[in-house]
């Protein structure tokens, strides 16, 4: 499974970068995956949590743009790249995890107050809270609920020093999911 190894290699190369929230990118995604597993999620959702920010590892130009305050759309970059090997149950929640934040900011009182500083800053670049019409359109999407649950794991996954399973423990799960698309 060359693509899976390529993905895991990117964590090793780029994952020690700061997520901007006092945890590394890899630690952030390992925490999100652990919360998804603890939440009784399917393998596809656990993989979505583990891979949700992988777009940050793919497009260096996009990364530079984000540092300059331009939104590069890491959720779309990641989802498109992962769709080579993973089914929609993995990629759709990833594609929607930024929209889910905009949705929750618009519809859930107090949600925005709980966001980290970095998340609140990126919210503005990402277009801010949805309008009521945008929120309705989002809620009608087939994977909206998955995107929202992924968002909540994402929001919690910023804890300094939290122990998680190691990255390699997820390799069999990723291989299983990739095989599902090939079948």
Q: Which stretch binds Fe ion (CB under 5 A): 2-10, 76-84, 85-93, 148-156?
A: 148-156
Task: Report how far residue 6's alpha carbon sits from residue 8's, in angstroms, rounded to the nearest whole number.
Answer: 6
Q: Which stretch binds Fe ion (CB under 5 A): 10-18, 46-54, 81-89, 101-109?
A: 46-54
53: contact with Fe ion by CB under 5 A: yes
63, 66, 154, 155: which one contacts Fe ion (CB under 5 A)?
Answer: 154
Q: How far is the CB of 178 from Fe ion (least distance, A)?
A: 22
Binding track, positions 97-136, relative to Fe ion; x by CB under 5 A: ----------------------------------------
Distances (CA, A) of 153 to 70, 76, 128, 178: 25, 19, 20, 22
Task: Report how far residue 161's alpha carbon sits from residue 86's, in angstroms, rounded to the nearest whole number.
Answer: 30
Q: Which is nearer to Fe ion, 43 or 154 (CB)?
A: 154
126 is written with which tokens?
């990402």
35 is written with which tokens?
């919360």
Task: Report how far residue 28's alpha carbon sits from residue 116's, in angstroms, rounded to the nearest whole number.
Answer: 13
47 is written with which tokens?
């993989």
75: contact with Fe ion by CB under 5 A: no
27 is written with which tokens?
């630690």
Q: How far is the CB of 28 from Fe ion (least distance, A)?
A: 6
Q: Which stretch binds Fe ion (CB under 5 A): 39-47, 53-61, 84-92, 145-153?
A: 53-61
Residue 127 and residue 102 in contact, taking contact as beta carbons nearer than 8 Å: yes
Binding site for Fe ion (CB under 5 A): 53, 154
């Amino acid at each position: 499974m060359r693509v899976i190894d390529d993905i895991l290699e990117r964590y090793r190369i780029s994952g020690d970068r700061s997520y901007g929230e006092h945890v590394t990118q890899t630690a952030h995604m390992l925490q999100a995956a652990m919360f998804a597993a603890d939440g009784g999620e399917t393998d596809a959702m656990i993989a979505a949590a583990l891979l949700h920010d992988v777009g940050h590892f793919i497009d260096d130009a996009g990364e530079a743009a984000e540092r300059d305050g331009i939104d590069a759309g890491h959720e779309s970059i990641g989802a498109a790249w992962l769709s080579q090997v993973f089914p929609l149950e993995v990629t759709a929640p990833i594609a929607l995890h930024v929209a889910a934040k905009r949705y929750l900011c618009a519809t859930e009182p107090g949600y925005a107050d709980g966001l980290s500083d970095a998340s609140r800053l990126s919210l503005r670049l990402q277009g801010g809270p949805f309008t009521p019409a945008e929120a309705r359109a989002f809620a009608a999407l087939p994977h909206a609920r998955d995107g929202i649950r992924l968002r909540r794991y994402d929001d919690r996954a910023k804890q300094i020093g939290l122990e998680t399973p190691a990255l390699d423990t997820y390799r069999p799960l990723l291989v299983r999911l990739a095989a599902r698309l090939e079948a």
